[in-house]
Amino acid sequence: MTELRYNPLLGDWTMVATHRQNRPNMPKGGCPFCPGSGKVPEHYDVLKYDNDFPALMSNPPEADQVGSALYKTKRAYGKCEVILYSPNHTTTLPELSVEHLEKLIDLWTNRFVALSQEANHEYIMIFENRGEECGVTMPHPHGQIYAYSWIPLKIRTELENCHTYYTTHGSCLICDMNQAELDFQKRVIYENEHFLAYIPFFTDYPYGLFIVSKNHKTALTDFTQEEKRSLALMLKCMTGAMDTLFHRLFPYMMVIHQRPVHGQAVKDYYHFHIEFYSPMRDESKLKYYASSEMGAWAPANPLAVEETSKNLRKSFQEYLEQEGRIDKCRD
């Protein structure tokens, strides 16, 4: 079964994909993403791979006849892609060179453009789940792209609030957030010429880092190659700092927020940024989304972000001092 089911309480759609139960779980033997598997080319740097167990499809089956006027169903149009970061099975994102990460960002951009051409696609989400704590089933370094046939509720809420702020204040909310964080400074981790990294005032995760373009841009397609290189540098630096924080692979969910496919109307008030959600609050403790968070969307952060920002900033400096990396995060 693959279909969409409408939630009338939230005005949003739930993806139903029962065939995903058959996904392999942390294979100990051969990896389908490694050269020699027969699934991928023998030589590649970064690669787009169509998901073997997609929740959304270009030509989905008809929805099951279980819906009604109240409980609507529809076909699960869309696309699910896997983006392979490297042919090396154990290389992590911060271990990749800036030049290699530029190729990854170029691939993300190319896929955003290509998927935006499909008539059924309304929103393209590029993301990465990292670590077993975030439910990762394949350890090979990779991210994913989902092309939705609707604008999901969280993105829709963000767009609406940015629009309301713009109509009230005449400025971009995220531009003003950037300035507020720069003025306060204590939550800023790092900045280069084109991007700013900080743990924002309001985040519900202790290490809920944001990476935000300094210039008002709405999507990957807006960036020059110089800006993409700055973004590659920023991704390398911040994920390296995360891994240094607790001296272990740092689990996270990384999500790129950019304009919808038909997003020309939002260009004045929406702003490209990347959000990280990590369950780690200590080297041996997890921050769970429990009843209040899930039932009421009333998040509770167990730590003050002014303190966690200081911790991550210190880890970033330690990362810079590691042999062979001292100049890797400099423009």
44-58 tens-digit pLDDT: 999 999 999 999 999
Strands in 273-277's sheet, in edge-to-edge order, are 47-50, 78-84, 142-148, 123-130, 252-257, 273-277, 210-213, 195-198, 188-191
pLDDT at 22: 56
pLDDT at 290: 86
Annotation says 142 is catalytic: yes
* pLDDT tens, residue by residue, 56-68: 999 999 998 898 9
- Report the chain's mean pLDDT, rounded to a whole number: 93
pLDDT at 139: 87
Residue 197 maps to a domain: yes
Q: Residue 280 — φ and ψ, nearest 5°?
A: -80, 130
Q: Which domain holds residue 230?
A: 2-321
**Considering the chain, what percentage of its residues have pLDDT values greater than 90?**
83
pLDDT at 135: 84
Which position among 121, 140, 142, 273 bears the catalytic label?
142
Average pLDDT of the segment spanning 271-295: 91
Q: How confident is the model at residue 24 (pLDDT cuts 50, 70, 90)?
A: low
Residue 326 maps to a domain: no
Comparing 138-142, 176-180, 207-211, 255-259, the range with the smallest average pLDDT is 138-142
pLDDT at 327: 53
**Considering the chain, what percentage of its residues have pLDDT values greater than 70?**
94
Residue 331 maps to a domain: no
Residue 248 maps to a domain: yes
pLDDT at 17: 87
pLDDT at 27: 60
* pLDDT tens, residue by residue, 110-138: 999 999 999 999 999 999 999 888 888 88
Average pLDDT of the segment spanning 13-39: 78
Residue 181 maps to a domain: yes
Give the integer Cα–Cα distance in Å for 218 and 126.
14
CATH of the domain at 64: 3.30.428.10
Please tell me the total count of domains within the chain: 1
Residue 330 maps to a domain: no
pLDDT at 125: 98
Is there a contact between 135 and 110 (Cβ–Cβ < 8 Å)? no
pLDDT at 287: 86
What distance lies between CA 258 and its chain's CA centroid? 10
pLDDT > 90? residue 73: yes
Average pLDDT of the segment spanning 279-301: 90
Query: Can you give the pTM of this predicted structure?
Result: 0.94
Average pLDDT of the segment spanning 202-211: 97
Average pLDDT of the segment spanning 212-216: 98
Residue 327 maps to a domain: no
* pLDDT tens, residue by residue, 105-114: 999 999 999 9
Closest CA to 54 of 27, 77, 72: 77
Average pLDDT of the segment spanning 293-319: 95
> Nearest-5° angle of CA 166, CA 169, CA 170?
60
Residue 152 maps to a domain: yes
Token pair of 164, please? Answer: 């309301």
Q: How confident is the model at residue 324 (pLDDT cuts 50, 70, 90)?
A: low
